[in-house]
């Protein structure tokens, strides 16, 4: 296992060096900085270092686990190596003298035959029939499943996300505190402080380098406490709200917490939205609407579980609207 981790680390460094060299050739300053308010830093540089640091942290965690348990078996696949070229000898034979032709199967025919087309009855084709349609411009059409609301939207996933940024009381002024390049349009989804231009910059601000620390401000209770528990992936101390009082087991509580955490990480659920849903007794309805208006971000595992158990966890008043989750089947 240690050898495989080392190989991954070497390949990461090689890829990182190639990316840095390419960016330097484009005239981009690639020197790392922890100053989130520095003027003019390139967004590509920020993303590069953010991803690099995240992968390095994962590799470090793997090393710690491997050192703590030295009996952990080596990967049977062995260390990662570069693919060896096929020799000019017999077809299907590599320089190592291994006959690769026997390892091929009918599933690889499309790789060798440029005219290969899957049949209309194939599994791959059937799996795509229910996917959202995408036109030539790359836009995804999201069907309006509820004719009485305006949650049906059209556009690229990024445009849909930015169109659904959290509503803010008053006008947000100034520039994004993460990139310091674009005008701010929203605030932190957890505490409502610090200004950001879009959902992506807010996510980057929580990374290892450009960390945003939520401020201790007067936020609506109990949503503020639960939002912090969601962010830290910990079960709520107070089980009287947000559907936890009717959970039948610890596993069900964990799944419900995971659903809220998915809404927080993938759909931008913030403390003000959560408070509004709870205060207006619209938790169930609002969760379903969030899934249906952005199906490209929905986790089907949580949606399937919510379809089975949502009715039992929330009151009839919270389920006052007839909503459709069948699009996820």
Q: Say if 57 falls within a structural domain.
A: yes
Predicted local confidence at residue 290, as pLDDT: 86
The H helix count followed by the E strand count for the chain is: 11, 4
The model's pTM? 0.41
Residue 192, sorted as left (phi over 0), alpha (psi -120 to 50) or beta, turns out to be left
Q: Say if 190 falls within a structural domain.
A: yes
How many structural domains comprise the chain?
3
- C-alpha to C-alpha distance for 174 and 181, rounded to whole angstroms: 10
Q: Which of 12, 43, 68 is the last residue of a domain?
A: 68
192 and 235 share one domain: no
Using one digit for the tens of pLDDT, what is the confidence trace for 143-187? Answer: 332 333 333 445 555 554 454 444 443 456 788 877 888 888 777
60 and 7 share one domain: yes
Q: Say if 76 falls within a structural domain.
A: no
Q: Which of 37, 68, 99 is the last residue of a domain?
A: 68
Enumerate the β-bridge partners of residue 154.
141
Predicted local confidence at residue 155, as pLDDT: 53
7 and 63 share one domain: yes
Using one digit for the tens of pLDDT, what is the confidence trace for 132-153? Answer: 333 444 333 333 323 333 334 4
225 and 164 share one domain: no
Contact 4, 75 (CB under 8 A): yes
Q: Say if 124 falls within a structural domain.
A: no
Cα 301 to chain center, whole Å? 14
Q: Which domain holds residue 22?
A: 2-68
Predicted local confidence at residue 227, as pLDDT: 80
Q: Which of 43, 68, 93 is the last residue of a domain?
A: 68
Q: Say if 10 falls within a structural domain.
A: yes
Predicted local confidence at residue 226, as pLDDT: 85
Q: How many CA atoms lie within 13 A of 129 on its CB side?
A: 8
Predicted local confidence at residue 292, as pLDDT: 82
Q: Say if 247 falls within a structural domain.
A: yes
List of the chain residues with pLDDT < 50: 33-41, 72-114, 116-153, 160-161, 163-170, 208-210
Residue whose structure tokens are 């520039």: 175
Predicted local confidence at residue 124, as pLDDT: 37
Predicted local confidence at residue 266, as pLDDT: 82
């Amino acid at each position: 296992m240690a050898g495989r981790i080392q190989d991954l680390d070497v390949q990461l460094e090689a890829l990182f060096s190639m990316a840095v060299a390419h960016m330097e050739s484009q005239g981009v300053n690639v020197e790392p900085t922890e100053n989130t308010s520095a003027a003019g830093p390139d967004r590509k540089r920020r993303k590069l270092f953010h991803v690099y640091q995240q992968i390095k942290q994962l590799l470090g965690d793997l090393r710690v686990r491997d050192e703590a348990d030295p009996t952990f078996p080596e990967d049977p696949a062995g260390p990662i190596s570069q693919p060896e070229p096929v020799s000019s000898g017999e077809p299907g034979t590599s320089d190592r003298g291994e006959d690769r032709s026997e390892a091929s199967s009918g599933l690889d025919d499309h790789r060798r035959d440029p005219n290969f087309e899957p049949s209309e009855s194939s599994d791959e084709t059937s799996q795509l029939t229910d996917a959202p349609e995408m036109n030539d411009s790359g836009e995804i059409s999201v069907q309006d499943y509820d004719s009485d609301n305006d949650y049906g939207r059209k556009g690229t996933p990024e445009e849909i996300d930015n169109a659904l940024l959290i509503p803010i009381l008053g006008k947000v002024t100034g520039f994004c505190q993460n990139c310091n390049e674009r005008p701010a349009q929203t605030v932190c989804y957890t505490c409502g402080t610090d200004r950001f231009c879009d959902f992506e910059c807010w996510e980057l601000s929580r990374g290892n380098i450009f960390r945003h620390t939520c401020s201790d401000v007067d936020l609506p209770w109990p949503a503020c406490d639960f939002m912090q528990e969601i962010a830290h992936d910990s079960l709520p101390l107070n089980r009287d709200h947000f559907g936890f009082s009717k959970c039948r087991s610890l596993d069900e509580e964990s799944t419900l917490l995971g659903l809220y955490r998915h809404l927080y990480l993938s759909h931008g659920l913030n403390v003000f939205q959560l408070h509004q849903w709870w205060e207006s007794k619209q938790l169930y309805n609002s969760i379903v609407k969030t899934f249906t208006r952005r199906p490209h971000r929905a986790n089907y595992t949580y949606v399937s579980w919510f379809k089975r158990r949502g009715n039992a966890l929330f009151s009839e008043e919270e389920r006052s609207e007839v909503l459709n989750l069948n699009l996820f089947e």
